[in-house]
Structure 1
Amino acid sequence: MNILLVGEYSRLHNSLKEGLIKLGHNVVIIGFNDGFKNYPVDYPIVLKWNSSFPKKIKVGIYKLTGFNITSYFTYKQFKKYQLNLVGFDVVQLINENSFYCGLYYEKRILKFLFENNKKSFLLSCGTDYLSVKYAFENTAIKSVAQPYLNGKIKQKNYLSVLKFRTETYKKLHYFIKQNTIGIIASDMDYHIPLINQSKYLGLIPNPINIDKFKVLPLNFANEIIIFHGINSESYFKKGNDFFEKALKIIEEKYYPKVEVIITRDVPYKKYIDLYNKAHIVLDQVYAHDQGYNALEAMAKGKVVFTGAETEFVNHYKLSERVAINAIPDVTYLVKELSFLIENPKEIKAISERARIFIEQEHDYIISAKKYIDIWNNALS
């Protein structure tokens, strides 16, 4: 089967590509390489006029004329590749706004892909029209809406989420829905909003190339090490404020039994070196399921504070914890961290279960087979 994967996010499509190639399929990726992470892309597209002084000029031109220079240059780059982007059995979009263009150029790109390939599918693995709509209609449930509605994030800093509430992106949603076979969710946070939606094809867990992630032995000879890596741009979105308050209490309560490592916007290599030393990794508080950072840490045998809500536990029929369900509550986080520090055997047990869970549910070969099954059923 010839497969075109459109877009990259947290290495999802690269991991899926590796699994599909192992199964004998031909796969190429077009899109951005997810910023500083610089994931491999066969047909790379670069965001232009999107930072520093050129961005200010772009914004000024857009306000005066409605013309988006970045979208235009993205479309020009796509045109350069388009003869190589025809005749595929399957096209899969990683998001409803895979090319980050405004409606006009996004539709032109997608229209070409839809008309020149056999079948197209949409993946829900990040914010999109339905997931954002659900979050804002169900505000008591953990979601990306909560930190914004609690006044922690300014509107101008949350446009990547809020744009999916606009009429423009509602139109884009229905255009994609009309032209694709169906939509696949990558975890429970996207599965839940899609339940009972027409064209929903089901959940396939995020693929993890477990060959790239070796279990790191946990050494309890000295301190228990807790790692908290902060990206300033997503500080409140991930609930880092709750983690920082909890860690301050833990440091005072358990010094010198614990070592707390907090990084902020450090280079990736330094981030990984420090994170590899940890027994416990703090990920995020507003999720039902694990994203890629958490899954990769679990693959290495870390105990991760992340999304592990009841819906997740029930879906995978888990009888024991493979991760710690994090919630936006400092007292709760302190209680859970204290239990682990006082019971290091539980750290070891969760560590082992976490790795087994990744091998059983997220292995990239197993995941790739599930994609093939869904695509084939839809193609027949």
Structure 2
Amino acid sequence: MKILLLGEFSGFFKNLKEGILELGYEINLVNPGDEYRNTVKTDLYIPSSRNYLIRNIEKLIFPFWKLKQYYNYDIVQLTGHNVFGGLKYNYNYLLIDKIKRNSNKMFMSSCGSDYFFYKKLKCLKYSALEEHIEIDLNGYNPYNQKKFMENNINVVNLVDGIIPTAYSYAEAYREHNRLLNTIQFPINVNKIAFTRQKIENNKIKIFHGITREGFKGTKYIKEAMLKIKEKYPNDVEILIDGKMPLNKYLKVLEETNVVIDQALSYSYGMNALYSMAMGKVVLSGNEPECQQEFGRTDIPIINILPSVDDIFKKLEKLVLDKKCVIEIGQKSRLFVEDFHHHIKVAQKYIDTWNLLR
């Protein structure tokens, strides 16, 4: 079986590729590249110059020059509907359609914001979309724009199946006839060292990484962190840092006890998995709906709401019982090894791809 992973999402496809390779399959990963994921190598050429003019020239000649590298795969898995990032003149859809015509089967991951995600999640009790649009996108809503919607719908109707990675992304496509079973994110635990928690100077180190402040609910997290620091100055050390490459992010995690990932999600993502694999306590989304989707009630993530008071109370509980930080850290690593192991998850993808004839 020859496999093409097209796109990238916070190291999702990088870890999936490593699992599939260990299962003995031929695989290539195409990473469009950006400043936060520049540690993920791309195996095939893709237009990615940072120079606007050069990138547009690359896109113009790409379909005639290098697209054939993407043909004749048994399986093509997309991270989403907009992997080529060009909606004008239906550029993105036309390339995906051409790859599909010259491949066997094509699937799409549901793992990020799109039109279906926007349409469904605004009906839930809370979601990140409103604040994501207001704060991260300065009020601009791409998800209800005609070209964006048409591209999303066209790609979804083109693929053979949609594979969500968590509850929220499954919910977005729940009524679509091409929705397949949810498969959790993979993480290569063999490459991430577990270190038993150490609480130096009796201080818990709490970290929140700023990426998309609106999407992550940073305003709630930041205020709660400042509040816990003010009340327990001798028990807490806080770090709120900006966007960074994966290597630097992992270095920061090594010196952290507690990681606050996001406050506006029902589920958790790749950032949480990197932290858990290192043995950290993670505060993120872990609603009952998330547990039901995964069929696991033992997820050691501390569920938080978009509420300063809720986040503060859960941090305070850790401060007042520092032993539980060590215990939860150990449980985090064991859970990731069992449920998110890259080879186990890769096998789920292989089985799902083979199911559709």
The 2-side partners of 1:48 and 1:77 are apart by 12
Q: Quick check: 253-262 or 294-303, which moved more?
A: 253-262
Using a 3 Å threshold, how does the CA distance of structure 1 residues 324 and 42 change in structure 2: closer, same or farther? same
Unpaired segments ≥5 residues, structure 1: 59-68
Hey, what does 1:8 align to over in structure 2? 8
The 2-side partners of 1:3 and 1:205 are apart by 19
Hey, what does 2:293 align to over in structure 1? 315
Q: Quick check: 364-373 or 320-329, which moved more?
A: 320-329
Contact 2:182–2:293 at 8 Å: present in 1 too?
no
Using a 3 Å threshold, how does the CA distance of structure 1 residues 71 and 141 change in structure 2: closer, same or farther? farther
| Deviation readout 1:196-252 (Å, 9 max, x if unpaired) | 321101101011111111112211242111112223xx1222111111111111111
1:143 CA drift (Å): 2.0
1:289 counterpart = 2:270: no
| Deviation readout 1:280-332 (Å, 9 max, x if unpaired) | 01111111111111111011111111111111123344444511112111111
1:268 CA drift (Å): 5.5
Letter in 1 for 2:116: L
Query: 1:310-349 residue pairs with structure 2 within 5 A?
Result: 310-320=288-298, 322-349=300-327
State the aligned residue count: 354
| Deviation readout 1:126-170 (Å, 9 max, x if unpaired) | 11221111123x1x4332323157xx427x5365xx323222222
Query: 1:24-173 residue pairs with structure 2 within 5 A?
Result: 24-38=24-38, 39-48=40-49, 73-103=58-88, 104-136=90-122, 138=123, 140-148=124-132, 152-153=134-135, 156-157=137-138, 159=140, 162-173=141-152
| Deviation readout 1:169-208 (Å, 9 max, x if unpaired) | 2222232233211100011220122223211011010111
Letter in 2 for 1:230: I
1:257 counterpart = 2:257: no
Larger relative contact order (Cα-Cα within 8 Å, sequence gap ≥ 6): 2
Letter in 2 for 1:365: I
SS at match of 1:4: strand
Contact 1:8–1:34 at 8 Å: present in 2 too?
no
1:257 CA drift (Å): 1.4
Contact 1:4–1:28 at 8 Å: present in 2 too?
yes
Q: Quick check: 219-228 or 301-310, which moved more?
A: 219-228
Hey, what does 2:166 align to over in structure 1? 187
The 2-side partners of 1:148 and 1:31 are apart by 24
Contact 1:299–1:358 at 8 Å: present in 2 too?
yes
1:351 counterpart = 2:329: yes
Identity, % of aligned positions? 30
1:209 counterpart = 2:209: no
The 2-side partners of 1:278 and 1:257 are apart by 14
Contact 1:2–1:89 at 8 Å: present in 2 too?
yes
TM-score norm. by structure 1 comes to 0.86
1:97 CA drift (Å): 0.4
Letter in 2 for 1:40: K
Letter in 2 for 1:35: E
